[in-house]
């Protein structure tokens, strides 16, 4: 029965948890709702657990549990406010702005952004030295391994938007940044619903202006959608193992080509067949096939460097 010996014991625990919550016995309520949530990961238990932890000033734990079910906090004004309060107590300014940018948050967006801006302004006074260190590490993201880059980016999400955007704009023209990290930064701008033009140093060593207001998710590209259909309609039944391997490769390739996927992948089916080392069935000229091979060779080098870096780091662990 998991956390409880019987359904009756669970119901008794639910009653006790609600009584503790109503009595504002936050620590007791948090303990009880955590047991209930571990037994059943419902939206209701998550919200009560997060609220209890928040009122008990266990802000980090509240953030960790809330992040498991962010979507359930878009139900009402009260739940939205709770999720925003938890994020701001943890200086999760970038997440908070992305949360406000969600279509379902439209009714509360303006008030939410006002709150976030005020919290950012206050943090510049109280956390000035911490933010200086975070910004310095973030602005030099390309100096570290890919794993370290991801960790630095996660910490940088605690920066106010102005400082975060300064770092992103600097990094997007860094020729040493891994293409996957560049795509991750662009996706951050997409989630933030920014509308400015940024400069992007891309795979061909050229720099291009990108209107962030026109960005679409990786999976929204024509090539990505055609590839997904082909994989599911042709490889899923024939060779599930090949399907899984190629899907992973294609996903990484699409991310590295972002945001110019459709400019490079003009024949998605031929692209997949070459990646899978199959005969090309679609009509394609020798020049087109050669271009696909050149691009895949270039992308494979980046993937080899990425996986080599991760393997090296794993081997260094005791």
Q: Are 142 and 174 in contact (CB under 8 A)?
A: yes
Residue 314 pLDDT greater than 50, yes or no: no
CA 243 from centroid of its chain's CA atoms: 24
pTM (2 d.p.): 0.88
Peptide bond into 204 cis (omega under 30): no
Could you tell me the pLDDT band of residue 292, with boundaries at 50, 70 and 90? very high
Q: Are 29 and 14 in contact (CB under 8 A)?
A: no
The reported pLDDT for the residue numbered 304 is: 84
Backbone torsion region of residue 177, taken as left when φ is above 0, otherwise alpha when ψ lies between -120 and 50, otherwise beta:
beta
The reported pLDDT for the residue numbered 251 is: 94
Tens of pLDDT, residues 56-83? 999 999 999 999 999 999 999 999 999 9
pLDDT, the chain, mean: 91
Q: Are 191 and 98 in contact (CB under 8 A)?
A: yes
Q: Are 191 and 100 in contact (CB under 8 A)?
A: no
Which DSSP symbol is given to 208? Answer: E
Q: Are 159 and 134 in contact (CB under 8 A)?
A: yes
**Buried/exposed 156-194: b ≥16 CB within 10 Å, e otherwise:** bbbbbbebbbebbebbbebeebbbbbbbbbbbbbbbbbb
Tens of pLDDT, residues 212-225? 999 999 999 999 99
Which DSSP symbol is given to 209? Answer: E
Residue 141 pLDDT greater than 90, yes or no: no
């Amino acid at each position: 029965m998991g956390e409880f010996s019987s359904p009756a014991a669970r119901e008794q625990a639910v009653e006790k948890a609600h009584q503790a919550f109503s009595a504002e016995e936050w620590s007791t309520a948090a303990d009880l709702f955590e047991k209930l949530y571990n037994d059943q990961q419902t939206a209701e238990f998550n919200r009560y657990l997060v609220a209890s932890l928040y009122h008990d000033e266990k802000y980090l734990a509240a953030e960790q549990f809330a992040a498991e079910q962010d979507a359930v906090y878009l139900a009402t004004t009260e739940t939205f406010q709770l999720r925003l309060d938890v994020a701001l107590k943890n200086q999760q300014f970038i997440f908070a702005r992305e949360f406000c940018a969600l279509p379902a948050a439209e009714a509360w967006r303006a008030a939410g952004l006002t709150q976030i801006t005020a919290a950012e302004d206050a943090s510049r006074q109280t956390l000035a030295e911490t933010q200086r260190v975070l910004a310095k590490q973030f602005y030099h993201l390309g100096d570290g391994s890919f794993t370290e880059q991801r960790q630095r980016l996660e910490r940088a999400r605690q920066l106010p938007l102005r400082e975060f955007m300064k770092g992103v704009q600097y990094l997007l023209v860094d020729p040493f940044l891994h293409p996957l990290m560049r795509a991750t930064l662009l996706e951050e701008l997409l989630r933030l619903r920014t509308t400015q033009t940024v400069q992007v140093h891309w795979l061909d060593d050229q720099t291009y202006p990108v209107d962030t207001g026109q960005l679409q998710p990786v999976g929204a590209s024509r090539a990505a959608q055609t590839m997904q259909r082909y994989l599911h309609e042709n490889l899923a039944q024939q060779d599930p193992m090949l399907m899984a391997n190629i899907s992973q490769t294609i996903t990484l390739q699409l991310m590295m080509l972002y945001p110019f996927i459709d400019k490079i992948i003009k024949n998605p089916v031929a692209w997949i067949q070459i990646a899978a080392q199959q005969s090309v069935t679609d009509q394609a000229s020798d020049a087109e096939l050669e271009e696909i091979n050149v691009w895949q060779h270039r992308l494979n080098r980046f993937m080899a460097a990425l996986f080599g870096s991760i393997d090296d780091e794993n081997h260094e662990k005791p």
